[in-house]
A and B are shown apart, each in its own frame.
Chain A
Amino acid sequence: MVGDDTHNLTIEVHNLTKVYVGGRPPAPGLRQKAVPDGEEPHTGRPAAAARGIYDLTFSVQKGEILGFLGPNGAGKTTTMRILTGYMPPTSGTARVAGFDIFEQPAEAKRRIGYLPEIPPLYPEMTVKAQLSFVADLKGVPRASRKAAIARVVEATNLGPVYNRLVKNLSRGYKQRVGLAQALLGDPEVLILDEPTVGLDPKQIIEIRQLIRSLGGKHTVILSSHILPEVSMVCERVAIINHGRLVGMDTPEGLARKLSHSQQLLVAIKGPQAQVEAQIASLPGMASWRPAEGEGAAQGATGAAGAGSRPAQTGPVLRYHLEAQPDVDLREPLFFQMARAGYPILEMRQVSLSLEDVFLQLTTEENTEPGDGQEGPKEGAQHV
């Protein structure tokens, strides 16, 4: 391994800031967003709102897959362009694979495979010519070039279009050529900007599997605004909004961290009135409501479902409980119900789905924590 062997971090970013000149879209030639020629990018915000990134600090471990999540214009592409050496930051430092991207750009770039938002392809070239050009550009030795190209062609399933002109390829194939050329030269670090955009569902699954298989051997950063994709593929998620890092954790951890108050889904056997009276008297309870079909419909509660089958007195009641902030309801609930003689057949914590985390992080970061109005919806994630 080249570079710093002393620690396990492949990418280190400190206080990275990028302010575009005048806060305007950058000069033509360096478009911030992919917009068709002659169109102004629509950010949905006033033009005066400065784009860029502010004071980003994070690191990525070797072999980790990190997802950048954020709405359009949040700064994902800017961050990736800085990490790949395409543009310099206004301030801050970034080290990739042990090399400072500004001090030793050639060394760092040699270890990065980059797939920009629009795959950078020459329309008049064949896939074959495009890939061998990129192989040369990345300094893949001539002797191993053929094998290297064959490997990425196989990984991205480009065989059928290998001899066709890039301009005649579908969006999905172009995306895959872009991914193939990012993989050329077996780079330590892969930076993929919206890698599944424009692919059909089957291709998306294939590409996700490919990316997941790359983790471990390669360090991967990918950006996406598709939440299930990020939670499916990535080991950690960095949420970026208005150029700032607003959260970074595992998908599960992020969801947990965000549910300010504990959410429980319980199934209790007993007469309804008494059970509800017991629940209502529980200290630390913020709100509760019957949860018809919730959880049971998930099909993941097989054990509990089986347990409820033996005939006993009373129906099985399901409730969704929300605790007051920083209160753990599980023990008091257990003892209270045990004392009252109403068995708890099922109890689980509900975590926010990443979608909710995302919405919450990127829309209402500044709301008071735990002002228990509108409880977050249950997601499919079990804690």
Chain B
Amino acid sequence: MSNVAVIFRREVSGYFVTPVAYVVFAVFLVLSGYFFTMSLFATQTADMSITFGNMSVTLLFVAPVLTMKMLAEEGRQGTMELLLTSPASLTSIVVGKYLAAVFTFLVLLLVTALYPISLFWVSKPDLGPILSGYLGILLLGAACLAVGMFASSLTESQVVAGMLGFGLLLLFWVLGWASGNVTGVAGEVLGALSLLNRLDGFTRGIINGADVLYYLSFAFAFVFLTVRVVDARRWS
């Protein structure tokens, strides 16, 4: 078994043998279920785009909560010493952990498939935007989880990691708002960096290669930074 798979398995089981995954699932499902129902009542259309928008906001705190333990706790309880003195490379450790978080989030999204299924039960919604919307949420989630993991690598305290992750995500979130007020290149750069602006296309059924690449490279950048941070701490 490759080292990434070994770490991945332990991490996933870590989510599901502790209450973490269940609490996060419960909160996310209650909130997104409420949003879904309310938007359905308000718009009277079999459409998921509003629900996706609301889900994306929920991600702001779901991602840090899912990842804040990831490296902070390994440092605190000393298990980082086990991982770093094992034959597994640092990159495979971090990647294995990251994939576990993404997988757990994917499971969560699969549970929310109940919403579109119920739509098909009562109506004939357009399947395309629903699938592309899910893809967008998954990509956004992957990006947010990478930020959360990065925050977790900076500290041994889960609370600090959670707060840092939330703050960083919120910052990337609101960058887009500034683009309206800041003129010129600066505004465009800020708008391009915003996590939120990219989601719109997906929820409208448009899969834009640039957007996919944006989320993937965003995630890659923060996974890479996490590896660098953990490695740098060994040298201190």
Contacts and interface: CB of A to CB of B under 8 A. Distances in A.
Q: Do A and B bind each other?
A: yes
Interface of A: 20-21, 26-30, 34, 37, 81, 84-88, 106-107, 109-110, 112, 114, 116, 118-125, 129, 133-134, 136-139, 142, 181
Contacts of A87: 234-235
Given A30-B234, A88-B234, A122-B14, A137 B78 contact: no
B50 interface: no
Residue in A27, A81, A110, A134 whose Cβ sees the most chain B Cβ within 10 Å: A27
Contacts of A112: 85
A85 B84 contact: yes
Given A26-B236, A106-B87, 8 more contacts: A34-B78, A37-B156, A86-B81, A107-B87, A118-B78, A120-B79, A122-B79, A139-B87
B228 interface: no
Nearest to A80: B85
B17 A109 contact: no
A241 B211 CA distance: 58
Contacts of B87: 106-107, 109-110, 137-139
B39 interface: no
A125 B17 contact: yes
B236 A109 contact: no
A134 B235 CA distance: 25
**Which of B84, B85, B88 has the largest count of A CB atoms less than 10 A from its CB?**
B85
A121 B6 contact: no
Contacts of B235: 87-88
Contacts of B78: 34, 116, 118-120
Interface size class of B (residues with CB under 8 A): 20 to 34
B75 interface: yes
27 contacts: A21-B236, A26-B233, A27-B236, A29-B75, A29-B233, A30-B233, A30-B234, A81-B81, A86-B81, A87-B235, A110-B87, A114-B82, A116-B82, A118-B77, A118-B78, A120-B81, A122-B79, A123-B77, A134-B86, A136-B1, A136-B9, A137-B3, A137-B7, A137-B86, A137-B88, A138-B86, A181-B82
B87 to A, nearest CB: 5
B27 to A, nearest CB: 20
Interface in B68-112: 71, 75-89
Nearest to B84: A86
Interface in B1-49: 1, 3, 6-7, 9-10, 13-14, 17-18
Chain B binding site: helix, strand, loop or mixed by DSSP?
Answer: helix
Nearest to A107: B87
A136 B6 contact: yes
A26 B105 CA distance: 34
Contact of B233 (A27, A119, A181): A27
Contact of A109 (B75, B79, B86): B86
Contacts of A29: 71, 75, 80, 155-156, 233
A137 B6 contact: yes
Q: What 5 pairs across the A-B complex have the smallest Cβ distances?
A: A120-B82, A29-B75, A84-B85, A136-B6, A120-B79
A116 B81 contact: yes
A88 B86 CA distance: 15
A268 B37 CA distance: 103
A63 B3 CA distance: 29
A76 to B, nearest CB: 15
Contacts of B10: 122, 125, 133
A20 B233 CA distance: 11
Nearest to A109: B87
B206 to A, nearest CB: 42
A177 to B, nearest CB: 11
A262 B17 CA distance: 64
Contacts of A124: 14, 17-18
Nearest to A123: B77
Contact of B156 (A28, A109, A136): A28
A110 B17 CA distance: 29
Contacts of B7: 137
A20 B235 CA distance: 8
A17 to B, nearest CB: 14
Nearest to B80: A29
Contacts of B155: 28-29
A355 B40 CA distance: 79
Contacts of A121: 77, 79
